Amino acid sequence: MTKAEIITIGTEIISGQIVDTNAPYIAQNLSEKGIHVLFQTSVGDDKELLKSALKIARDRVSLIITTGGLGPTANDITREAVSEFFGIPLVPDKAAYARIQKILRNQYINKQDKYRKQVTVHPHRNLPSPPFSPSVRGTGGGIQGGNEYSPPLVGGVRGGGKSLRKQAMIPEGALAIHNDNGTAAGFALNRGNTEIVCLPGVPREMQSMLNKYLEIYTKNHNLEGRCTLLRDLHTFGICEPDVDSQMKAYTGREEQIKAMTLVHDGIVTINIIASSTDRENANNILDEAEQDIRKKLGHAVFGVGGETLEYTVATLLKKYHKTLAVAESCTGGLVSDKLTNIPGISEYFMEGVVAYSNKAKVEILGVPEDLIGKHGAVSPQVARAMAEGIKKRSSADIGVGITGIAGPAGATKEKPVGLVYIAVIVDDVAEVKECRFRGSRIDIKNFSANTALNMVRLKFMDNC
């Protein structure tokens, strides 16, 4: 199996200014081709640091995929770093240069048309010349001899200048990967036992060019008879060690099927990977594994792939023609926010109320003031009263009430940070759950919202 490393390049990534979305996309697509991604590295716009990262990667994998650093500016140093690291000169790729010229020429024509539309014609006045006149030559360059005009400056790239030609430069002997969505050419270079593929950092450009490369890779490495597919199963209400204990038949395997787990916001996701000779067989292997896991974990499994808890709840509300209303305190409307992200939910989600203060709980939800005085706002009694109040107020079939202490302040010895009570009422039958979460204020809000949604989901499961 080919072992790979992904290197994402850009100071904006390592400084936390943007989130790297390229590496996950690349990793998933490589995995589907049976390529084992062992490392992901991020490095700033520094040529020496990038060369150091390339040396480390070359010593431990046979395939290196980089993104970023192929633009026209001085900070775009990837092609130069690769050239110096492998000791190969950069040469212009004529096809890439011609494509860049065509893009800039089309942008120039569009800009000219827009300019003309903005000019008011007066019969006795001379019109000003367009900002970029095709009759002017020698000011912007052209293809290495000034024989073809390109505008002086379009989209930050000077036509015919060094910055334009820079984007068409690739290491000598490399395969150019043409960019259908931008100006920066990518390339693939095979040197000894190492293959390096350099792609732009713009996600839309990178994705298209990666797909082109993988088509070539599949043919060159005789992978057309192999297929690797991934499937995620999501669970809630069961801890990772318990899930892992049921996955022993799939973990640590190098065969057709294997699985691993990851945790986020109380959700344990099982990542299943199946390899076979073709897509149909790989899908059949995944189907059998999914059935086996569902049998072992039961109702703890709530979704597949991109299905979220809120999506699952919305689907069940629609299936059983039920309506829902939510009264939130410590979650601050997070449950309502999650539900209203689902298209069509307005048919089944009646109302969401954030009753943060005691006054709001009393006046909006009808929670008895003496109940709060006797038990406190964070109590099972108040959570139930909130659920009853929102259910009655909205005439919904299901009412949910959430109250708790998200922290960091507001706790007492008897009621610590993370104490949350969640009530769900269906057909006048109430369930109140006491939860003790750990983590930050945001963590506690997320855990609470997901637990509330899961409690609603399980109400439907109990009646199935």
Judged on CB neighbours under 10 Å (0-12, 13-18, 19+), 241 is: exposed
346 and 392 share one domain: yes
pLDDT mean across residues, the chain: 87
pLDDT tens digit sequence for 4-61 = 999 999 999 999 999 999 999 999 899 888 888 999 999 999 999 999 999 999 999 9
pLDDT of residue 52: 97
Q: Among residues 252, 273, 304, which one ends one of the domains?
A: 304
pLDDT tens digit sequence for 307-359 = 999 999 999 999 999 999 999 999 999 999 999 999 999 999 999 999 999 99
Percent of the chain scored above 70 by pLDDT? 86
Q: Which two tokens stand for residue 308?
A: 């979220």
132 and 118 share one domain: yes
Domain count across the chain: 4
Q: Among residues 259, 283, 304, which one ends one of the domains?
A: 304
pLDDT of residue 146: 34
Report d(CA 409, CA 377) in Å as an integer.
15
Please give the torsion angle defined by the CA atoms of residues 418, 424, 430 and 435, in that order, rounded to the nearest 10 degrees. Answer: -20
HSE (side-chain half, CA atoms, 13 Å) at 352: 17
Query: Is the pLDDT reported for residue 363 higher than 50?
Result: yes
- Coil, strand or helix at 222: coil
160 and 199 share one domain: no
457 and 399 share one domain: yes
Query: Is the pLDDT reported for residue 283 higher than 60?
Result: yes
33 and 174 share one domain: yes
139 and 54 share one domain: no
Domain extent for 318 = 309-462
111 and 55 share one domain: no
331 and 457 share one domain: yes
pLDDT tens digit sequence for 238-269 = 999 999 888 877 765 556 788 889 999 999 99
Beta strands in 112-256 (DSSP E): 169-171, 175-177, 186-191, 194-199, 227-236
Q: Which two tokens stand for residue 168?
A: 């068409």
- Coil, strand or helix at 23: helix
- Coil, strand or helix at 137: coil
213 and 73 share one domain: yes
Q: Among residues 145, 164, 183, which one ends one of the domains?
A: 164
Write the CATH number for 452: 3.90.950.20
Q: Are 334 and 446 in contact (CB under 8 A)?
A: yes
- Coil, strand or helix at 77: coil
Helix (H) or strand (E) holding 454: helix 441-462
Q: Are 392 and 453 in contact (CB under 8 A)?
A: no
108 and 148 share one domain: yes
328 and 290 share one domain: no
194 and 299 share one domain: no
